[in-house]
């Protein structure tokens, strides 16, 4: 069987497993690149070949002399592991050469850019509320800051996902195909109500059947590219020198909640993190703030420390305590 046929079957396999379109496209692209460079029959590939290939990924340099990020290598290795697992299960190969090859470990990084409250307010104030686009854009920014929603999740919201009365937002099939419900703050609810009642109906006059909550001026589901551009544009107009993306609002949302004493498990649920360790990165990032909070709040910290060395009160240790 030709390699392109195997790739097609692999994509079908991922669809049967109900993987997200983004995951299917990502895995398929990485496997396709591997197969295009393969110079032997797929059945003849050995574990040694794959070890050399993975090592080569770290040494790879693009035309502009840049190497792959560790995260990129991890995804490539993961895609190939799933591909060869599929080939073995479907009896297209006899031995899985990726079976004992482990994914590289990703370095733990603290959350990136975080905005101050003042910086967020400056950005929120940029959209022109005298225009339909301005109201929509302000709504988008308020939702990012109020809910910590991901870019793709926001673009995929439908008109049935917003509970304005209860102030809740349902996120269907977020990252990892996980559903969740997150609270919206009063400002986000206010602008979302304004958008739904005054802006969206005018944008969707010629496309009344569309279910997407956030739409472009043509009444179609807003794209990730458009949202990314509007976030960067308003940050630039607010004269924010930091690199600001939609994900920056997510980091800022989580950081503010943790800093102000929110339960870490509650934050995990709102962010949609599968692993608690991912959420705990925000605690690590706030080490100094937590130290201040501990010093200020712990009752023992209010007791004065007596000067001088501690003088032992025990002169003899009894044998039974040894």
80 lies in some domain: yes
Query: Residue 171: phi, psi to the nearest 5?
Result: -110, 110
Residues 164, 255, single domain; the answer is: yes
Residues 236, 141, single domain; the answer is: yes
Q: For residues 274 and 176, is the Cβ–Cβ distance under 8 A?
A: yes
Distance CA 180, CA 157 (A): 12
Residue 48's domain is classified under what CATH number? 1.10.150.130
309 lies in some domain: no
pLDDT value at position 214?
A: 96
259 lies in some domain: yes
pLDDT value at position 307?
A: 66
Residues 41-76: pLDDT tens digits? Answer: 999 999 999 999 988 888 776 666 678 888 889 999
Active-site residue identified among 27, 145, 195, 282: 282
Residue 32 designated active-site: no
Active-site residue identified among 150, 200, 234, 251: 150
Return the SS3 of 242.
coil
159 lies in some domain: yes
Active-site residue identified among 175, 180, 190, 232: 175
Residue 273 designated active-site: yes
Which residue from 127, 47, 59 is spatially nearest to 93, judged by alpha carbons? 47
**196: exposed, middle or buried (Cβ count in 10 Å: 0-12, 13-18, 19+):** middle
Active-site residue identified among 81, 200, 250, 251: 250
208 lies in some domain: yes
Residues 212, 145, single domain; the answer is: yes
304 lies in some domain: no
Distance CA 65, CA 61 (A): 5
Q: Give me the number of domains the chain comprises.
A: 2
Q: Which long-range contacts (CB under 8 A, 24 or more apart) does 35-43 make?
A: 35/3, 35/4, 35/6, 35/7, 38/3, 42/3, 42/6, 42/87, 42/92, 42/93, 43/92, 43/93, 43/94
Residue 92 designated active-site: no
Using CA of residue 261, residue 266, residue 269, residue 273, what is the dihedral sign?
Answer: positive
Using CA of residue 53, residue 58, residue 59, residue 63, what is the dihedral sign?
Answer: positive
Question: Which residues on neighbouring strands pair with residue 180, listed in sequence order?
Answer: 171
Mutual angle of helices 264-271 and 246-259, in 10-degree steps: 160
Q: What is the DSSP string of 256-287?
A: HHHHTT--HHHHHHHHT-SSHHHHHHHHHHTH
Active-site residue identified among 78, 247, 259, 269: 247
Residues 34, 134, single domain; the answer is: no
Residues 164, 286, single domain; the answer is: yes
Residue 300 designated active-site: no
Residue 150 designated active-site: yes
Helices (H), the chain: 3-16, 21-36, 47-59, 70-89, 117-124, 132-147, 151-155, 186-194, 200-203, 224-237, 246-259, 264-271, 276-285, 287-297
Residues 271, 224, single domain; the answer is: yes
Residues 226, 85, single domain; the answer is: no
Cβ neighbors of 129 (< 8 A, separation 6 or more) are 135, 138
319 lies in some domain: no
Query: Residue 221: phi, psi to the nearest 5?
Result: -55, 130
Q: What is the pLDDT along the chain (322 residues), one digit of tens a residue?
A: 788 899 999 999 999 998 888 899 999 999 999 999 999 999 999 999 999 998 888 877 666 667 888 888 999 999 999 999 999 999 999 999 999 988 887 765 655 688 999 999 999 999 999 999 999 999 999 999 999 999 999 999 999 999 999 999 998 865 555 788 888 989 999 999 999 999 999 999 988 889 999 999 999 999 999 999 999 999 999 999 999 999 999 888 888 888 887 777 888 888 887 776 666 666 665 554 555 655 665 565 566 666 665 555 545 545 444 4
Residues 130, 192, single domain; the answer is: yes
Residue 284 designated active-site: no
Residues 260-279: pLDDT tens digits? Answer: 877 778 888 888 877 766 66
Residues 43, 172, single domain; the answer is: no
Residues 47, 144, single domain; the answer is: no
Domain span including residue 48: 3-89
Residues 283-301: pLDDT tens digits? Answer: 665 554 555 655 665 565 5
Residues 135, 262, single domain; the answer is: yes
96 lies in some domain: no
Residues 274, 127, single domain; the answer is: yes
Residue 161's domain is classified under what CATH number? 1.10.443.10
């Amino acid at each position: 069987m030709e390699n392109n046929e195997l790739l097609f079957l692999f994509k079908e396999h991922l669809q049967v497993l109900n993987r997200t379109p983004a995951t299917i496209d990502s895995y398929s692209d990485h496997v396709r690149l591997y197969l295009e460079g393969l110079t032997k029959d797929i059945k003849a590939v050995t574990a040694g070949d794959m070890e050399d290939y993975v090592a080569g990924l770290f040494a790879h340099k693009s035309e502009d002399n840049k190497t792959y990020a560790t995260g990129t290598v991890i995804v490539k290795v993961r895609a190939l592991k799933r591909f060869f697992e599929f080939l073995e299960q479907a009896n297209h190969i006899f031995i899985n050469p990726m079976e004992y090859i482990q994914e590289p470990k990703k370095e733990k990084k603290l959350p990136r850019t975080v905005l101050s409250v003042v910086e967020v307010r400056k950005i929120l104030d940029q959209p022109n509320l005298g225009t339909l686009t301005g109201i929509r854009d302000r709504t988008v920014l308020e939702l990012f800051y109020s809910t910590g929603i991901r870019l793709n999740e926001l673009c995929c919201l439908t008109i049935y996902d917003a509970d304005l009365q209860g102030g809740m937002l349902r996120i269907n099939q977020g990252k990892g195909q996980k559903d969740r419900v997150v609270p919206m703050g009063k400002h986000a609810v206010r602008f979302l109500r304004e958008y739904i009642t005054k802006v969206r109906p005018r944008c969707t006059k010629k496309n009344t059947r569309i279910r997407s909550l956030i739409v472009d001026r043509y009444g179609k589901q807003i794209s990730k590219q458009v949202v990314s551009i509007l976030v960067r544009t308003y940050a630039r107009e607010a004269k924010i020198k930091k690199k600001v993306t939609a994900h920056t609002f997510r980091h800022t949302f989580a950081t503010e909640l943790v800093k102000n004493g929110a339960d870490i498990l509650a934050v995990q649920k709102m962010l949609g993190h599968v692993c608690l360790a991912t959420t705990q990165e925000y605690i690590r990032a706030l080490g100094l703030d937590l130290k201040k909070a501990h010093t200020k709040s712990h009752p023992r910290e209010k007791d004065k420390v007596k000067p001088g060395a501690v003088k032992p009160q025990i002169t003899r240790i009894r044998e039974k305590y040894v």
